[in-house]
Amino acid sequence: QVHLVESGGGLVKPGGSLRLSCAASGFAFSDYYMSWIRQAPGKGLEWVSYINSVGSTVDYADSVKGRFTISRDNARNSLYLQVNSLRPEDTAVYYCATGRYSSYWGQGTLVTVSS
């Protein structure tokens, strides 16, 4: 059974940083592209970033480019998102999900950016 569990969210001041993690199990993690998708409170889904199966290709939404970094550790079946220079508008639930279109999603981790 596929399982994705995000962690690392929390309350942070503007300009602060966090490292979000996603632990994967139940599937061949190293074979899959992975994505981060976020959802601000009461708003729609926003694609944030993706990484290919070996970590050699990544891309980001313009809204986070230069501030967020996606990475993965296939030996640990883990996906990461380093989020720096956080802004209030980055407040959202951050989901990790498989693939470019997402068959499987975690339950999300809440990032709140507020002074």
Partner 1 sequence: EIVLMQSPGTLSLSPGERATLSCRASQSVSSSYLAWYQQKPGQAPRLLIYGASSRATGIPDRFSGSGSGTDFTLTISRLEPEDFAVYYCQQYAGSPFTFGQGTRLEIK
Binding site for partner 1 (CB under 8 A): 35, 37, 44-47, 50, 59-62, 95, 99-103, 105-108
Measure CA 80 to chain center.
6
Residue of 26, 45, 43 lying closest to 35 (CA atoms) = 45
Smaller CB separation from partner 1, 30 or 105: 105
Distance CA 113, CA 17 (A): 10
On whether the CB atoms of residues 78 and 23 are closer than 8 A, the answer is yes
Smaller CB separation from partner 1, 13 or 42: 42
Tokens 């993965």 belong to residue: 72
Smaller CB separation from partner 1, 2 or 75: 2
CB of 74 to partner 1, least distance (A): 21
CB of 101 to partner 1, least distance (A): 4
Pairing of strands 109-113, 10-12: parallel
CB of 61 to partner 1, least distance (A): 5
